[in-house]
Amino acid sequence: MIAETVRTCFPVAAKVVADKADEINKLNVFPVPDGDTGTNMSLTLGTVVKEVEALPKDASMEDIAKAITHGSLMGARGNSGVITSQILRGVAEGLAGVRGPEATTSDIAAALRNGVKVAFKAVRKPVEGTILTVLKDVSAKADQMEKAKANPVETLDAIVVEAYESVARTPDLLPVLKENGVVDSGAFGLATFIEGFVNAYEGKAGEVSDFKTTVDSSDAKADVANVVDIEINDDWEGSQYRYCTEFLFRADSPDFDEEANLRYLASMGDCELLVGSNPDYKIHVHTNRPDRVLRHMLHRGQIFNVFVHNMDLEAHERTEGIRQDKAEAAAAAKAPRKALGFVAVAAGSGEADILKSLGVDVVVSGGQTMNPSTADILAAIEECNADQVIVLPDNGNIRMAAEAAAGACTASKVAVVPTKTVPQAFAAMFVADVEGDLQSNVDEMTDAISQVRDGEVTTAVRDSAAADGTPIHAGDVMGIQDGSIEVVGSDVEDVTLKVINRMQDEEEGDTLTILAGSDLDDDAFKHLLDAIEAAQPDLEIDSHRGEQPLYPVVFSIE
């Protein structure tokens, strides 16, 4: 159902934006270089996630659309957050009209058209080369795919590519971006959210081991990376207005004049936004007199959740951050070059910490629904500063990007050990020898991962079938053994135990390495470990917090 798809995929996409918030912040130079776009978009999306998660499990798409609209309005932060809230509102309201169990290409195109309509109505003076440009471009691409009678997956893949291609074009549309050597931060944030949502939708379609992407967005993302590589100029003077002023407002009268108050906000500064519907509104303006703005609105209703940011100070912090990044890069360039380095991909912070403790030099953020691009992996290889580098993709869907990065690297000799899971990467790093040559390490590590049997537990997004033909319904808990869905149930602990027992029956192992995901709290994890110990008393358990999203439990048996 479309409601289940949205409520499952939205948190994943929001987390992708949160993980990239710092990267988005550093791109932020328009309308002022206050370096907070990523933070503001992440906070806005996070409020939506909380509101949607509070709904009952059987909530309709209409209920979810209302939660998205209300949550994004109440939680909107900054210029980018307020505009994002209106994009979300328009698209969600468009999806609320879907009558079938899943959205068709026509439904997707119609929802995006509504997003364009609502977002552009909220912004009095739309500027080309911003988040609105990307929205308009992906909507046009969806219309094109609808006319071509493309299926929904083809359409979504095309939208992801178009989003990044549109981002890469932003410096040609907005001169201040080209002057500062960046793409638009809000545009990049939106593209990141779209990609995260689409990846979650496609990567969790039940047949996890057969995950495919019709159109690869890596080239489009590489175009964005190339634009960002332009020399950064951190001396931009900023806006004539100092204070970013935003607050929630509740009108006292049903006759509250939105247009008249927007004109007042425009007279007090710029980037004025007044969104929502009587009586509840979100107000945003860049001004030198936030006191006057607040006093004016107090005469017309109640104000609350007031945030006033000094953009001059924030711009200086952003500039200092850029200088620090340059200094660190220069220091790294002077560091002695290593003989052998390691790059690995991980979705959870706990996974990353373990990999680093085992000797991995650079961990790239990514996983089943957050595939890093070839450019991301190539940058990590170069960051290793080593003559030879071994890459552990830790996911079958990332292997091609890793191999492409290895082939593109000219500064180091690179090899890929084809790990499909993070536990396989653990096993590979246990036998790694930093004093050994590249090929010997590849051989030893490849042999080590062949001894690892993997299991994962996750939740189905759409109806499908297990390996033995057992029906899978959206919301079912799936137990995956070595890439194949072998157990279907309704409880994470029960499904995990069944997969482990099944694997032990097939071939008894000695050690269980198990990682708790971000959705499994400590109490539930302890209860699971106690149950495993009772069921498999001879199995040595090595437990950790992996904090990986979407997969409450990831484990391996050796």
Q: How many CB atoms are located within 10 Å of the residue 550 CB?
A: 24
In order, the DSSP letters of 50-109 are HHHHTS-TT--HHHHHHHHHHHHHHH--HHHHHHHHHHHHHHHHHHTT--SSS--HHHHH
Mean predicted lDDT score pLDDT of the chain: 84
C-alpha distances out from residue 301 to 257, 290, 295, 304, Å: 12, 16, 10, 10
The pLDDT tens digits for 48-70 are 999 899 999 888 899 999 999 88
Task: Write down the CATH superfamily of domain 336-450.
Answer: Phosphotransferase system, mannose-type IIA component (3.40.50.510)
Ramachandran assignment for 238, one of left (phi > 0), alpha (psi -120 to 50 degrees), beta (any other): left
Q: What does the pLDDT read at residue 215?
A: 35
Cut 0.75: pTM above it: no
Mean pLDDT of 137-144: 94
Q: What is the domain class of 243-314 according to CATH?
A: alpha beta
Q: What does the pLDDT read at residue 276?
A: 82
Confidence check: pLDDT of 228 > 70? no
116, amino acid identity: V
Q: Which residue has the tokens 């931009």?
A: 236
Q: What does the pLDDT read at residue 522?
A: 93
Which fold is adopted by the domain 453-557? Answer: Hypothetical Protein Tm841; Chain: A;domain 3 (3.30.1180)
Q: What does the pLDDT read at residue 109?
A: 94
Q: What does the pLDDT read at residue 499?
A: 95
The pLDDT tens digits for 319-334 are 676 667 666 666 666 6
Mean pLDDT of 402-430: 93
Pairwise CA distance, residues 86 & 357, whole Å:
43
Confidence check: pLDDT of 232 > 60? no
The pLDDT tens digits for 279-316 are 888 888 888 888 888 989 888 888 888 888 787 776 66
Mean pLDDT of 19-48: 76
Match domain 2-228 to its CATH number in 1.25.40.340, 3.50.80.10, 1.10.1060.10, 3.40.50.720. 1.25.40.340
The pLDDT tens digits for 355-390 are 999 999 999 987 666 778 888 899 999 999 999 999
Pairwise CA distance, residues 124 & 237, whole Å:
24
Percent of the chain with pLDDT strictly greater than 70:
88
Q: Hey, where are the domains in the chain?
A: 2-228, 243-314, 336-450, 453-557
